[in-house]
Structure 1
Amino acid sequence: MNILLGLLPFLVFAIAARLFGTSGALCAAALTALILCARDWTGPRRHCGLLELVSLIVFGGLAVYAGLTRPAWPVMGVRLAVDAVLLLVMLASLLIGRPFTLGYARPEGDPAAWLTPRFIRGHYVVSGVWTAAVAAIVAADALVLVWPNALMVGVAVIVTALLAASRFTRRYAASLRT
Protein backbone atom coordinates (compact mmCIF):
# COMPACT_ATOMS: atom_id res chain seq x y z
CA MET A 1 0.00 0.00 0.00
CA ASN A 2 1.21 3.44 -0.89
CA ILE A 3 -0.72 5.24 1.80
CA LEU A 4 2.31 7.26 2.89
CA LEU A 5 2.86 8.31 -0.72
CA GLY A 6 -0.77 9.41 -0.81
CA LEU A 7 -0.07 11.63 2.19
CA LEU A 8 2.97 13.22 0.50
CA PRO A 9 1.11 16.43 -0.48
CA PHE A 10 0.34 17.03 3.20
CA LEU A 11 4.03 16.61 4.07
CA VAL A 12 5.04 18.89 1.19
CA PHE A 13 2.60 21.51 2.48
CA ALA A 14 4.04 21.31 6.01
CA ILE A 15 7.62 21.71 4.79
CA ALA A 16 6.91 24.29 2.06
CA ALA A 17 4.90 26.47 4.47
CA ARG A 18 8.10 27.21 6.38
CA LEU A 19 9.93 28.11 3.16
CA PHE A 20 7.31 29.83 0.99
CA GLY A 21 4.41 30.78 3.24
CA THR A 22 0.86 29.50 3.08
CA SER A 23 0.05 30.33 -0.56
CA GLY A 24 3.31 28.91 -1.89
CA ALA A 25 2.86 25.78 0.20
CA LEU A 26 -0.67 25.29 -1.12
CA CYS A 27 0.66 25.49 -4.68
CA ALA A 28 3.50 23.06 -3.91
CA ALA A 29 1.09 20.58 -2.30
CA ALA A 30 -1.37 20.90 -5.20
CA LEU A 31 1.43 20.29 -7.71
CA THR A 32 2.58 17.25 -5.73
CA ALA A 33 -0.97 15.87 -5.70
CA LEU A 34 -1.29 16.51 -9.44
CA ILE A 35 1.94 14.62 -10.13
CA LEU A 36 0.78 11.69 -7.98
CA CYS A 37 -2.60 11.59 -9.74
CA ALA A 38 -0.96 11.77 -13.17
CA ARG A 39 1.36 8.93 -12.17
CA ASP A 40 -1.61 6.85 -11.04
CA TRP A 41 -3.72 7.61 -14.12
CA THR A 42 -0.91 6.65 -16.50
CA GLY A 43 0.30 3.64 -14.48
CA PRO A 44 -1.12 0.14 -14.08
CA ARG A 45 -3.85 1.29 -11.68
CA ARG A 46 -5.44 3.62 -14.26
CA HIS A 47 -7.17 5.59 -11.52
CA CYS A 48 -6.16 8.09 -8.87
CA GLY A 49 -6.17 6.95 -5.24
CA LEU A 50 -8.61 8.60 -2.84
CA LEU A 51 -5.90 10.34 -0.81
CA GLU A 52 -4.28 11.76 -3.92
CA LEU A 53 -7.62 12.90 -5.36
CA VAL A 54 -8.70 14.56 -2.11
CA SER A 55 -5.29 16.25 -1.91
CA LEU A 56 -5.60 17.53 -5.46
CA ILE A 57 -9.09 18.93 -4.87
CA VAL A 58 -8.39 20.46 -1.46
CA PHE A 59 -4.92 21.86 -2.09
CA GLY A 60 -5.74 22.88 -5.67
CA GLY A 61 -8.95 24.62 -4.62
CA LEU A 62 -7.29 26.40 -1.72
CA ALA A 63 -4.32 27.41 -3.92
CA VAL A 64 -6.65 28.95 -6.51
CA TYR A 65 -8.65 30.71 -3.80
CA ALA A 66 -5.48 32.01 -2.12
CA GLY A 67 -4.16 33.22 -5.47
CA LEU A 68 -7.35 35.15 -6.18
CA THR A 69 -8.05 36.62 -2.73
CA ARG A 70 -4.68 36.71 -0.93
CA PRO A 71 -6.13 35.75 2.48
CA ALA A 72 -4.05 36.10 5.62
CA TRP A 73 -4.36 32.49 6.73
CA PRO A 74 -2.22 31.15 9.55
CA VAL A 75 -0.31 28.06 8.45
CA MET A 76 -1.59 25.99 11.37
CA GLY A 77 -5.16 27.00 10.58
CA VAL A 78 -4.77 25.74 7.02
CA ARG A 79 -3.08 22.55 8.22
CA LEU A 80 -5.92 21.93 10.64
CA ALA A 81 -8.49 22.50 7.89
CA VAL A 82 -6.89 20.22 5.29
CA ASP A 83 -6.15 17.50 7.84
CA ALA A 84 -9.74 17.70 9.10
CA VAL A 85 -11.04 17.30 5.52
CA LEU A 86 -8.80 14.25 5.09
CA LEU A 87 -10.11 12.81 8.38
CA LEU A 88 -13.72 13.34 7.29
CA VAL A 89 -13.08 11.61 3.95
CA MET A 90 -11.44 8.66 5.71
CA LEU A 91 -14.31 8.38 8.18
CA ALA A 92 -16.86 8.64 5.36
CA SER A 93 -15.12 5.84 3.45
CA LEU A 94 -15.55 3.58 6.48
CA LEU A 95 -19.14 4.62 7.09
CA ILE A 96 -20.23 3.94 3.50
CA GLY A 97 -18.58 0.52 3.52
CA ARG A 98 -15.69 1.29 1.15
CA PRO A 99 -12.53 1.62 3.27
CA PHE A 100 -10.21 4.04 1.49
CA THR A 101 -7.36 1.52 1.51
CA LEU A 102 -9.25 -0.71 -0.95
CA GLY A 103 -8.08 1.64 -3.71
CA TYR A 104 -4.49 0.86 -2.80
CA ALA A 105 -4.83 -2.91 -3.24
CA ARG A 106 -2.14 -4.10 -5.59
CA PRO A 107 -3.32 -4.34 -9.20
CA GLU A 108 -1.31 -7.52 -9.74
CA GLY A 109 -3.08 -9.31 -6.90
CA ASP A 110 -5.79 -11.90 -7.37
CA PRO A 111 -9.10 -10.01 -7.93
CA ALA A 112 -11.05 -13.00 -6.59
CA ALA A 113 -9.40 -12.50 -3.20
CA TRP A 114 -10.62 -8.89 -3.10
CA LEU A 115 -14.15 -10.03 -2.29
CA THR A 116 -13.31 -12.35 0.58
CA PRO A 117 -14.41 -11.36 4.09
CA ARG A 118 -10.82 -11.59 5.32
CA PHE A 119 -9.60 -9.13 2.67
CA ILE A 120 -12.41 -6.65 3.33
CA ARG A 121 -12.01 -6.96 7.13
CA GLY A 122 -8.27 -6.35 6.74
CA HIS A 123 -8.95 -3.14 4.87
CA TYR A 124 -11.40 -1.99 7.54
CA VAL A 125 -8.72 -2.57 10.17
CA VAL A 126 -5.96 -0.80 8.24
CA SER A 127 -8.25 2.08 7.23
CA GLY A 128 -9.33 2.40 10.86
CA VAL A 129 -5.74 2.60 12.06
CA TRP A 130 -4.88 5.27 9.49
CA THR A 131 -8.05 7.18 10.35
CA ALA A 132 -7.06 7.11 14.02
CA ALA A 133 -3.58 8.36 13.08
CA VAL A 134 -5.07 11.27 11.14
CA ALA A 135 -7.41 12.00 14.07
CA ALA A 136 -4.31 12.28 16.28
CA ILE A 137 -2.76 14.61 13.70
CA VAL A 138 -5.88 16.80 13.67
CA ALA A 139 -5.76 16.95 17.47
CA ALA A 140 -2.06 17.90 17.33
CA ASP A 141 -2.79 20.61 14.75
CA ALA A 142 -5.56 22.01 16.96
CA LEU A 143 -3.28 21.96 20.00
CA VAL A 144 -0.56 23.89 18.18
CA LEU A 145 -3.07 26.35 16.72
CA VAL A 146 -4.42 27.14 20.20
CA TRP A 147 -1.10 26.83 22.01
CA PRO A 148 1.82 27.66 19.65
CA ASN A 149 4.40 26.76 22.33
CA ALA A 150 3.33 23.12 21.94
CA LEU A 151 4.85 22.88 18.45
CA MET A 152 7.36 20.19 19.41
CA VAL A 153 4.63 18.16 21.11
CA GLY A 154 2.53 18.49 17.95
CA VAL A 155 5.40 17.36 15.75
CA ALA A 156 6.09 14.40 18.05
CA VAL A 157 2.42 13.35 17.92
CA ILE A 158 2.34 13.61 14.11
CA VAL A 159 5.55 11.65 13.58
CA THR A 160 4.53 9.00 16.13
CA ALA A 161 1.06 8.62 14.59
CA LEU A 162 2.42 8.20 11.06
CA LEU A 163 5.17 5.80 12.09
CA ALA A 164 2.80 3.72 14.21
CA ALA A 165 0.19 3.47 11.44
CA SER A 166 2.86 2.62 8.87
CA ARG A 167 4.45 -0.03 11.07
CA PHE A 168 1.08 -1.52 11.96
CA THR A 169 0.09 -1.67 8.27
CA ARG A 170 3.27 -3.52 7.34
CA ARG A 171 2.96 -6.03 10.18
CA TYR A 172 -0.76 -6.57 9.79
CA ALA A 173 -0.49 -7.04 6.02
CA ALA A 174 2.30 -9.56 6.55
CA SER A 175 0.19 -11.47 9.08
CA LEU A 176 -2.69 -11.66 6.59
CA ARG A 177 -0.45 -13.22 3.96
CA THR A 178 0.43 -16.19 6.20
Structure 2
Amino acid sequence: MMGFLKLLVSFAPWLSFLIIAHGSLFRLQLGLCVALGLSILMGVLKLHRGIILWVGLAFFAAATVLVVVFKNMWTVQYMGVLANGSLALGTWAGIAIGKPFTADYARDHTDPSLWNSPLFMRTNNIIASVWGGAFTCNALLAWLKMKQLFFSELTFELISYALLIGVAVFTQWYPAYLRRQRAASSAAA
Protein backbone atom coordinates (compact mmCIF):
# COMPACT_ATOMS: atom_id res chain seq x y z
CA MET A 1 0.00 0.00 0.00
CA MET A 2 2.83 2.40 0.86
CA GLY A 3 4.40 1.76 -2.55
CA PHE A 4 1.14 2.63 -4.27
CA LEU A 5 0.88 5.89 -2.31
CA LYS A 6 4.46 6.79 -3.28
CA LEU A 7 3.55 6.08 -6.89
CA LEU A 8 0.58 8.43 -6.64
CA VAL A 9 2.71 11.12 -5.02
CA SER A 10 5.38 10.81 -7.72
CA PHE A 11 2.73 11.54 -10.37
CA ALA A 12 0.97 14.27 -8.32
CA PRO A 13 1.67 17.07 -10.84
CA TRP A 14 0.28 14.97 -13.69
CA LEU A 15 -2.69 13.74 -11.64
CA SER A 16 -3.55 17.27 -10.51
CA PHE A 17 -3.38 18.40 -14.13
CA LEU A 18 -5.62 15.49 -15.20
CA ILE A 19 -8.19 16.30 -12.52
CA ILE A 20 -8.26 20.09 -12.89
CA ALA A 21 -7.54 20.84 -16.56
CA HIS A 22 -10.70 20.03 -18.45
CA GLY A 23 -13.97 21.71 -19.33
CA SER A 24 -12.78 25.28 -19.87
CA LEU A 25 -9.77 27.37 -20.80
CA PHE A 26 -9.66 28.74 -17.24
CA ARG A 27 -9.48 25.20 -15.78
CA LEU A 28 -6.75 24.27 -18.28
CA GLN A 29 -4.73 27.34 -17.29
CA LEU A 30 -5.30 26.64 -13.59
CA GLY A 31 -4.33 22.98 -14.06
CA LEU A 32 -1.12 23.94 -15.83
CA CYS A 33 -0.16 26.46 -13.12
CA VAL A 34 -0.91 24.01 -10.30
CA ALA A 35 1.00 21.21 -12.04
CA LEU A 36 4.00 23.46 -12.72
CA GLY A 37 4.00 24.65 -9.11
CA LEU A 38 3.78 21.08 -7.81
CA SER A 39 6.57 19.96 -10.16
CA ILE A 40 8.86 22.69 -8.88
CA LEU A 41 7.96 22.08 -5.22
CA MET A 42 8.34 18.31 -5.52
CA GLY A 43 11.66 18.72 -7.30
CA VAL A 44 12.98 21.01 -4.57
CA LEU A 45 11.75 18.61 -1.87
CA LYS A 46 13.19 15.64 -3.84
CA LEU A 47 9.78 13.93 -3.90
CA HIS A 48 9.95 13.89 -7.68
CA ARG A 49 13.16 13.11 -9.53
CA GLY A 50 14.84 11.78 -12.63
CA ILE A 51 13.62 12.04 -16.18
CA ILE A 52 9.93 12.24 -15.19
CA LEU A 53 10.72 15.34 -13.10
CA TRP A 54 12.48 16.99 -16.04
CA VAL A 55 9.75 16.00 -18.50
CA GLY A 56 7.14 17.47 -16.16
CA LEU A 57 9.06 20.68 -15.61
CA ALA A 58 9.71 21.15 -19.33
CA PHE A 59 6.17 20.25 -20.38
CA PHE A 60 4.34 22.27 -17.74
CA ALA A 61 6.64 25.29 -18.13
CA ALA A 62 6.29 25.34 -21.93
CA ALA A 63 2.56 24.63 -21.88
CA THR A 64 1.94 27.25 -19.19
CA VAL A 65 3.75 29.92 -21.21
CA LEU A 66 2.01 28.90 -24.45
CA VAL A 67 -1.49 28.64 -22.96
CA VAL A 68 -1.53 31.18 -20.12
CA VAL A 69 0.70 33.87 -21.60
CA PHE A 70 0.20 33.50 -25.36
CA LYS A 71 -3.27 31.84 -25.42
CA ASN A 72 -1.96 29.48 -28.11
CA MET A 73 -5.05 27.57 -29.26
CA TRP A 74 -3.07 24.91 -31.15
CA THR A 75 -1.46 23.91 -27.85
CA VAL A 76 -4.89 23.91 -26.19
CA GLN A 77 -6.34 21.73 -28.95
CA TYR A 78 -3.49 19.20 -28.80
CA MET A 79 -2.97 19.29 -25.00
CA GLY A 80 -3.90 15.64 -24.41
CA VAL A 81 -1.62 14.43 -27.18
CA LEU A 82 1.22 16.70 -26.03
CA ALA A 83 0.94 15.71 -22.36
CA ASN A 84 0.80 11.97 -22.98
CA GLY A 85 3.34 12.22 -25.79
CA SER A 86 5.76 14.04 -23.48
CA LEU A 87 5.44 11.32 -20.85
CA ALA A 88 5.87 8.61 -23.50
CA LEU A 89 8.89 10.30 -25.08
CA GLY A 90 10.53 10.86 -21.68
CA THR A 91 9.88 7.27 -20.62
CA TRP A 92 11.25 5.75 -23.84
CA ALA A 93 14.25 8.12 -23.80
CA GLY A 94 15.06 7.07 -20.22
CA ILE A 95 14.96 3.41 -21.24
CA ALA A 96 17.10 4.11 -24.31
CA ILE A 97 19.84 5.77 -22.23
CA GLY A 98 19.74 3.03 -19.58
CA LYS A 99 17.97 5.15 -16.94
CA PRO A 100 14.37 3.94 -16.68
CA PHE A 101 12.42 6.41 -14.55
CA THR A 102 11.13 3.63 -12.29
CA ALA A 103 14.66 2.91 -11.05
CA ASP A 104 14.77 6.35 -9.41
CA TYR A 105 11.82 5.33 -7.23
CA ALA A 106 12.70 1.63 -6.81
CA ARG A 107 15.99 2.63 -5.18
CA ASP A 108 14.00 3.97 -2.22
CA HIS A 109 13.20 0.42 -1.12
CA THR A 110 16.01 -1.63 -2.66
CA ASP A 111 19.36 -2.49 -1.11
CA PRO A 112 22.00 -0.19 -2.71
CA SER A 113 24.16 -3.24 -3.49
CA LEU A 114 21.47 -4.31 -6.01
CA TRP A 115 21.04 -1.00 -7.83
CA ASN A 116 23.40 -1.94 -10.67
CA SER A 117 22.44 -5.60 -10.86
CA PRO A 118 21.13 -6.88 -14.20
CA LEU A 119 17.93 -8.11 -12.50
CA PHE A 120 17.21 -4.69 -10.95
CA MET A 121 17.78 -2.93 -14.28
CA ARG A 122 15.82 -5.52 -16.30
CA THR A 123 12.90 -5.29 -13.86
CA ASN A 124 12.88 -1.49 -14.10
CA ASN A 125 13.19 -1.58 -17.88
CA ILE A 126 10.16 -3.88 -18.05
CA ILE A 127 8.08 -1.75 -15.69
CA ALA A 128 9.10 1.49 -17.41
CA SER A 129 8.31 -0.09 -20.81
CA VAL A 130 4.81 -0.92 -19.61
CA TRP A 131 4.43 2.72 -18.51
CA GLY A 132 5.84 3.87 -21.86
CA GLY A 133 3.34 1.67 -23.67
CA ALA A 134 0.46 3.10 -21.64
CA PHE A 135 1.60 6.69 -22.22
CA THR A 136 1.99 5.98 -25.95
CA CYS A 137 -1.48 4.42 -26.10
CA ASN A 138 -2.91 7.38 -24.20
CA ALA A 139 -1.29 9.81 -26.64
CA LEU A 140 -2.92 7.89 -29.50
CA LEU A 141 -6.24 7.82 -27.62
CA ALA A 142 -6.02 11.58 -27.04
CA TRP A 143 -5.44 12.12 -30.75
CA LEU A 144 -8.37 9.84 -31.70
CA LYS A 145 -10.58 11.62 -29.14
CA MET A 146 -9.57 15.01 -30.51
CA LYS A 147 -10.42 13.86 -34.04
CA GLN A 148 -13.68 12.35 -32.71
CA LEU A 149 -12.89 8.95 -34.19
CA PHE A 150 -14.40 5.62 -33.17
CA PHE A 151 -15.71 6.14 -29.61
CA SER A 152 -17.48 8.57 -27.36
CA GLU A 153 -15.45 10.93 -25.16
CA LEU A 154 -16.44 8.92 -22.07
CA THR A 155 -15.18 5.71 -23.66
CA PHE A 156 -11.81 7.31 -24.40
CA GLU A 157 -11.55 8.56 -20.82
CA LEU A 158 -12.45 5.16 -19.36
CA ILE A 159 -9.92 3.35 -21.57
CA SER A 160 -7.22 5.88 -20.69
CA TYR A 161 -7.88 5.63 -16.94
CA ALA A 162 -8.08 1.83 -17.10
CA LEU A 163 -4.67 1.74 -18.79
CA LEU A 164 -3.10 3.93 -16.10
CA ILE A 165 -4.70 2.01 -13.24
CA GLY A 166 -3.63 -1.26 -14.84
CA VAL A 167 -0.03 -0.08 -15.13
CA ALA A 168 -0.05 1.17 -11.53
CA VAL A 169 -1.27 -2.25 -10.38
CA PHE A 170 1.35 -3.97 -12.56
CA THR A 171 4.06 -1.72 -11.05
CA GLN A 172 3.15 -2.99 -7.59
CA TRP A 173 2.52 -6.61 -8.58
CA TYR A 174 5.53 -7.38 -10.81
CA PRO A 175 8.40 -6.88 -8.31
CA ALA A 176 6.48 -8.85 -5.67
CA TYR A 177 5.91 -11.61 -8.23
CA LEU A 178 9.65 -11.73 -9.00
CA ARG A 179 10.49 -11.92 -5.29
CA ARG A 180 8.07 -14.84 -4.86
CA GLN A 181 9.61 -16.60 -7.89
CA ARG A 182 13.14 -16.17 -6.49
CA ALA A 183 12.04 -17.37 -3.06
CA ALA A 184 10.39 -20.45 -4.59
CA SER A 185 13.54 -21.18 -6.65
CA SER A 186 15.75 -20.80 -3.56
CA ALA A 187 13.48 -23.07 -1.53
CA ALA A 188 13.49 -25.70 -4.28
CA ALA A 189 17.30 -25.62 -4.49
Shorter chain as normaliser: what TM range? Answer: 0.7 to 0.9
Please give the secondary structure, in 1, of the residue aligned with 2:45: helix
Unpaired stretches in structure 2, ≥5 consecutive residues: 181-189
- Displacement after TM superposition at 1:74 (Å): 6.4
Unpaired stretches in structure 1, ≥5 consecutive residues: none
Find out whether 1:7 has 2:11 as its counterpart. Answer: yes
Stretch of structure 1 that moved more, 94-103 or 156-165: 94-103
Could you tell me which residue of structure 2 aligns to residue 29 of structure 1? 35
Could you tell me which residue of structure 2 aligns to residue 176 of structure 1? 178
Could you tell me which residue of structure 2 aligns to residue 98 of structure 1? 99
Could you tell me which residue of structure 2 aligns to residue 39 of structure 1? 45
Which has the larger Rg?
2
- Displacement after TM superposition at 1:21 (Å): 3.2
Stretch of structure 1 that moved more, 116-125 or 15-24: 15-24
Stretch of structure 1 that moved more, 112-121 or 5-14: 5-14
What amino acid maps onto 2:127 in structure 1? V
Could you tell me which residue of structure 2 aligns to residue 68 of structure 1? 69
CA deviation map 1:72-129 (0-9, x unaligned): 3464511211211111111111122222211112335311111211111111111111
Could you tell me which residue of structure 2 aligns to residue 17 of structure 1? 21
User: What do you get for the CA RMSD once the two structures are aligned?
Assistant: 2.3
- Matched residues, percent identical? 27
Query: 2 CA distance for matches of 1:150 and 1:67?
Result: 29
Query: 2 CA distance for matches of 1:121 and 1:154?
Result: 32
CA contact (8 A) 2:88 2:136 kept: yes
The alignment's TM-score, normalised by the length of structure 1, stands at 0.84
Counting matched residue pairs gives: 173
